[in-house]
Amino acid sequence: MENASGGVTYVTCARIDDDGPGGVASSRISVIDRSASAGARKVASTFFSHGRDSHGIWTDPSNTKLYVAHEADELPGTPNAGQTVCTVFDVADLFKPRFIAQIPLGDLELPSGRLRNKKSINLVYAWPGAPSATA
92 part of a folded domain = yes
Please say whether the beta carbons of 84 and 72 come within 8 A. yes
Name residue 98's beta-bridge partners. 90
pTM: 0.77
> Would you say residue 5 has pLDDT above 70?
yes
Average pLDDT along the chain: 78
Q: Is residue 108 part of a domain?
A: yes
With respect to residue 106, please indicate whether it lies within any of the assigned structural domains.
yes
Residue 134 in any domain: the answer is no
Pairing relation of β-strands 6-17 and 113-116? Answer: unpaired
Banded pLDDT at 127 (limits 50, 70, 90)? very low
- How many domains does the chain fold into? 1
79 DSSP assignment: T
Query: Which pLDDT band, with edges at 50, 70 and 90, does 131 fall under?
Result: low
The whole-number pLDDT of residue 117 equals 62
Q: Is 35 inside any structural domain?
A: yes
Window from 6-10, 64-68, 114-118 with minimum mean pLDDT: 114-118
Neighbours of 18 (CB within 10 A): 8
Residues 97-119: what's their mean pLDDT? 75
pLDDT at 41 over 80: yes
Task: Return the percentage of the chain with pLDDT > 90, whole number.
Answer: 24
Is residue 122, in this structure, part of any structural domain at all?
Answer: no
Inter-CA distances, 49 with 1, 23, 27, 92, Å: 17, 13, 5, 17
Q: What is the pLDDT of residues 10-24, one digit of tens each?
A: 998 877 777 788 777
Helix or strand or coil: residue 38? Answer: helix
State the residue range of the domain holding 57: 2-116
Domain for residue 127, yes or no?
no
Cβ contact 75:49 at 8 Å: no
Amino acid identity, residue 62? S
- The answer to whether residue 67 sits within a structural domain is yes
